[in-house]
Chains A and B, each alone.
Chain A
Amino acid sequence: MASTKKILAEQVMFKLEGGWPDIAAAVQEEDLYKRIEQKVNAKAKLQHFNQTLASGETIPDGLFIATYDGIAVSAYQDRSKSTLPVKPISLPRNMGIFRVYDPRYPDNDFIPLQRGQMALLRSDTLLNDLIGDIGYEPRNEDVVFTQDLTLIGTSEVSMELVVMDISLFSVTQALPIPADMEDEIINELVAEYAPVQAETGAINKFTTIKNNLAQ
């Protein structure tokens, strides 16, 4: 199950406090939410996505295209498939899966097909192999390619998926980030916030300020 901002924040808190977080902890969950958004935006290489579809439909505001590299390709029957790292926004014509390509050839996108279109094209004498191009069909959490990419030396693909702006996700909404990114975010936040200490018993902020100014 994908994590939420709250779950990530709780995990960071557990590590910082070495156990159940105290209510008086120096770092609170609310402090971490914004920082998680910033981390995700930075890591997912998010770009604002704004497009009006040709048929006149519009895409809701606040969408981003996130780039995911290093998606593994595995053989599947006589073809190959890759698992979507996150579940993209559902859009017409499967535009939620915006681009899929071999990172070695970033200008040669694979051809997007709608579910079941390849079965229709098989009966066409000219287009049954997409005139040499490679296509992909979404199938639940996978994308199935029309050829076995592993035979042509492609072991990984890059995907650009349309996701919602992270700041629009509530704290209890599943985030569109892969598991390895969650782990990185937690560890980085722990390292970042570990030096933050609670206030000591001495209540003398003015003395502290005076000393600092004197220096």
Chain B
Amino acid sequence: MTVISLKAIVKDVLMQKGYSLHWYIQCLVYAKNCLRELTFDDLRVVNTKKIPVNDFNEFEIPADYQDYCRVNAICGEKLRPLVETDKLNKLPSLDSDFNQQTYSQTATESSALFYGGLYPFYWNSTNWNEFGESTGRYYGLGAGVQDDVFSVIKERNVIKVTETLSIDDVILEYISDGMDADSATRVDSYAIATIDAYINWKLKANNRNHGAGEVQMAKQEYIDQRLILRARLSPLTMEVWKRLFQRASYASPKSA
């Protein structure tokens, strides 16, 4: 994959239009805004970081974080994705000195209703026959207690992993907003024409010398280029389509 810097794209636009460097900063601002939008949807700039969690199983969200793809626990060479939940308390637990502590150290105020408290009474059920074989019928068990959960707490700019999970680090895969020097200097070459069209559109839109029709045509050109960019970056090939269908196909006994 060849990459190009945002500055090179902007200077190329200036050369095409015969503008001097006095237009550079304005075009650079347009290019930066376009890059941000493309990063959200099309360019798929997914950053992966290994982040240590603190004593409260929390870690700070990276500065360029836009949205997460996966929050993983490390299992050797493999990753175990955690599941987002809204049942973790977003507020920190504080001791009498207003220092944060874990919730396991916090005295519970109510013991009437807590997770795992309403235990189904299995002791009055018989699940084996006269031969000692299990007959099943564990109806209503459900999925059990799920301790592989996390919660994104935007108010405190942290991601909290459930305290019942004992981990030191997480692998966070997240969508970046593209507003860092690395992203600006490594733009996918497929996006050159799209950014080019965006700059042209915005130059006309912010200039009184161009009519509404002209601006609209420039906007449509940008939209067309964006569709082309998506088609270029689409990972779906015929082989992938076949594999998707094949994976969903299972042999099953034919009823008589």
- Complex: how many Å from CA A133 to CA B29? 14
| A156-175 interface with B by 8 A CB criterion | none
Decide: A95 and B20 in contact? CB cutoff 8 A.
yes
Decide: A127 and B32 in contact? CB cutoff 8 A.
yes
Residue ID in chain A nearest B24 by CB atoms: A111
Q: Is A54 an interface residue (CB 8 A)?
A: yes
| B180-215 interface with A by 8 A CB criterion | 180-181, 184-185, 203, 207, 209
Q: Is A21 an interface residue (CB 8 A)?
A: no
Decide: B25 and A124 in contact? CB cutoff 8 A.
no
- Complex: how many Å from CA A54 to CA B185? 27
Q: Is B19 an interface residue (CB 8 A)?
A: yes
- Complex: how many Å from CA A124 to CA B209? 28
- Complex: how many Å from CA A98 to CA B22? 8
Q: Is A117 an interface residue (CB 8 A)?
A: yes
Q: Is A208 an interface residue (CB 8 A)?
A: no
| Number of B positions contacting A (CB below 8 A) | 23
| A103-138 interface with B by 8 A CB criterion | 109, 111-113, 117, 121, 124-127, 130-133, 135
Q: Is B17 an interface residue (CB 8 A)?
A: yes
Q: Is B94 an interface residue (CB 8 A)?
A: no
| A48-72 interface with B by 8 A CB criterion | 51, 54-56
- Complex: how many Å from CA A47 to CA B28? 29
Q: Is B23 an interface residue (CB 8 A)?
A: yes
From known contacts A55-B207, A55-B209, infer whether A126 and B181 are also in contact, taking CB-CB under 8 Å: yes
- Complex: how many Å from CA A95 to CA B28? 18
Q: Is A94 an interface residue (CB 8 A)?
A: yes
Decide: A126 and B20 in contact? CB cutoff 8 A.
no
Contact size class for A? 20 to 34
Decide: A126 and B24 in contact? CB cutoff 8 A.
no
Decide: B7 and A131 in contact? CB cutoff 8 A.
yes
B residues less than 8 Å from A34 (CB atoms): none
Least Cβ distance of B138 to chain A in Å? 54
Q: Among B6, B23, B180, point to the contact of A54 (Cβ < 8 A).
A: B23
- Complex: how many Å from CA A51 to CA B18? 10
Supply 29 A–B pairs (Cβ within 8 Å), ascending by A: A54-B17, A54-B18, A54-B19, A55-B207, A55-B209, A56-B209, A93-B22, A93-B23, A94-B22, A98-B20, A109-B21, A111-B24, A113-B25, A117-B25, A121-B25, A124-B29, A125-B180, A126-B32, A126-B179, A126-B181, A126-B184, A127-B28, A130-B25, A131-B6, A131-B184, A131-B185, A132-B181, A133-B7, A135-B25
Please give me the 6 A-B residue pairs with the lowest Cβ-Cβ distance, nearest first: A93-B22, A126-B179, A125-B179, A112-B22, A56-B209, A54-B19
